[in-house]
Amino acid sequence: MSLDLLLSNRCEIPKASQLSSAILSLSSLKVPSVTHFSENKIAERADGKVRLFSGTANLPLAQEIASYMGIELCKINIKRFADGEIYVRLEESVRGCNVFLVQPTCSPANENLMELLVMIDACRRASARSITAVIPYFGYARADRKTQERESIAAKLVANLITAAGANRVVAIDFHSGQAMGYFDIFVDQVYGQPVILDYLASKQISPKDLVVVSPDVGGVARARGFAKKLSDAPLAIVDKRRQGHNISEVMNLIGDVKGKIAVLVDDMIDTAGTITNAAALLHREGATAVYACCTHAVFSPPAIERLSGGLFQEVIVTNTVPVPEQNYFPELTVVSVANLLAETIWHIHSDGSVSSIFK
């Protein structure tokens, strides 16, 4: 089936999909805002040497990035042959240009990964000056080490494939673990999704004295601690959990006090939602007045939607690194956009600027 992406018109910036009502009163959270482009900045940077393409995995996000940047998505023809093979042809010249390819490797992970590799190869053979793979959600990142004998470290394999295809740089949002960045032999820039989630929480302006940030497992403590510091150094609690097997988890106990508090669970992704819903149930038993979930990647593998919409959460806040199908929306779900973060990152890379300065 043909999946032609012949894009010629700049899209309007879609607003974040917020399907729940704010119930909390205003107070004062000091949270850094996401940078916004000025018209002058767009004009100065639109020098014609940057090319932005999108794969089929998350076209709406790529359109929003292009709109923030003040440029148009370049034309690309992507097709699937009858046997499932992927065909890619660039419809515009990229010779001597800095090319950015937007393609998360979310479900179907293998198809989207292969599509990205073929896109990279097409750009390399078309004499692009540099090729940056913008991978909002980096699939296979959880396979970053051996937990049992004779296992593959698939994260390293995927890094090798992207490098071998011809990419010069990778941009990804919130790797599952820090060591995944070290598997690449090319430049890697990690973009943090926290600012857009924090901006949204700040709009609710929950009083810091009513708030506690919770890590759903011991491995996410550093992430939750950083989140808590941005929320006026809110207190931290940890859920101690033992994993029974792949996609199966069991909550054991709580380290910290959540009684009478609004609990904010922080994680990098929600897959089957077993970890985070078990944690939410524990927090309610321990006396939390409300539970919010804040996660960057909405992977939402079954039965995630049933678990998340079961009444345990006041709100589930995610970003659009992974597209959320319309049928997967539920009343408590809010989707905030990372397009501005990625647009700013792309411009900084294109103009040899500092990416880390975006988050200071």
Q: If 0-12 CB within 10 Å is exposed, 13-18 middle and 19+ buried, where does residue 147 land?
A: exposed
pLDDT band at residue 20 using 50, 70 and 90 as cut-offs: very low
pLDDT at residue 356, as a whole number:
87
pLDDT band at residue 40 using 50, 70 and 90 as cut-offs: very low
- Residue 207, C-beta contacts closer than 8 angstroms, at least 6 positions apart: 27, 28
Asked whether residue 129 is domain-assigned, the answer is yes
pLDDT at residue 206, as a whole number:
86
Give tens-digit pLDDT for 156-180.
999 999 999 999 999 999 998 877 8
In this structure, the answer to whether residues 138 and 209 fall within a common structural domain is no
Asked whether the predicted pLDDT for residue 2 surpasses 60, the reply is no
In this structure, the answer to whether residues 76 and 199 fall within a common structural domain is no
Counting residues of the chain whose pLDDT is more than 70, the rounded percentage is 84
- What is the SS3 assignment for 346? helix
Overall average pLDDT of the 257-286 stretch: 96
In this structure, the answer to whether residues 84 and 206 fall within a common structural domain is no
Asked whether the predicted pLDDT for residue 198 surpasses 90, the reply is yes
Question: Are 105 and 162 within 8 A, CB to CB?
Answer: no
In this structure, the answer to whether residues 228 and 279 fall within a common structural domain is yes
Asked whether residue 307 is domain-assigned, the answer is yes
Q: Domain residues for 292?
A: 194-337
Give the number of C-alpha atoms closer than 13 A to the C-alpha of residue 281, restricted to the C-beta side.
14
In this structure, the answer to whether residues 119 and 165 fall within a common structural domain is yes
| Phi and psi, residue 71, nearest 5° | -125, 175
CA nearest to 339, candidates 125, 47, 54? 54
* DSSP class per residue in 82-130: TTS-EEEEESS--BT-EEEEE----SSHHHHHHHHHHHHHHHHHTTBSE
pLDDT at residue 147, as a whole number:
83
Asked whether residue 201 is domain-assigned, the answer is yes
Asked whether residue 68 is domain-assigned, the answer is yes
* DSSP class per residue in 132-181: EEEESS-TTTT--S-SSTT---HHHHHHHHHHHHT-SEEEEES-SSGGGG
In this structure, the answer to whether residues 49 and 175 fall within a common structural domain is yes
In this structure, the answer to whether residues 325 and 179 fall within a common structural domain is no
- Rounded Cα–Cα distance for residues 104 and 211 (Å): 33
In this structure, the answer to whether residues 296 and 355 fall within a common structural domain is no
In this structure, the answer to whether residues 299 and 165 fall within a common structural domain is no
Asked whether residue 22 is domain-assigned, the answer is no
Asked whether residue 10 is domain-assigned, the answer is no
Q: What is the reported pTM?
A: 0.85
In this structure, the answer to whether residues 179 and 203 fall within a common structural domain is no
pLDDT band at residue 215 using 50, 70 and 90 as cut-offs: very high
pLDDT band at residue 57 using 50, 70 and 90 as cut-offs: very high
Rg (alpha carbons) of the chain, rounded to whole number:
21
Average pLDDT, the chain: 87
Determine if residue 96 is left, alpha or beta; phi over 0 gives left, psi from -120 to 50 gives alpha, anything else beta: left
Q: Into how many domains does the chain fold?
A: 2
Asked whether residue 17 is domain-assigned, the answer is no
Report the range of poorest mean pLDDT among 140-154, 266-280, 300-314, 341-355: 140-154
Overall average pLDDT of the 83-112 stretch: 98
Overall average pLDDT of the 129-154 stretch: 93
Give tens-digit pLDDT for 245-267.
665 656 578 999 999 999 999 99
Give tens-digit pLDDT for 318-336.
999 999 999 999 999 999 9
Asked whether residue 172 is domain-assigned, the answer is yes
Q: Which CATH number fits the domain that encloses residue 256?
A: 3.40.50.2020
In this structure, the answer to whether residues 179 and 198 fall within a common structural domain is no
In this structure, the answer to whether residues 288 and 325 fall within a common structural domain is yes
pLDDT at residue 252, as a whole number:
73
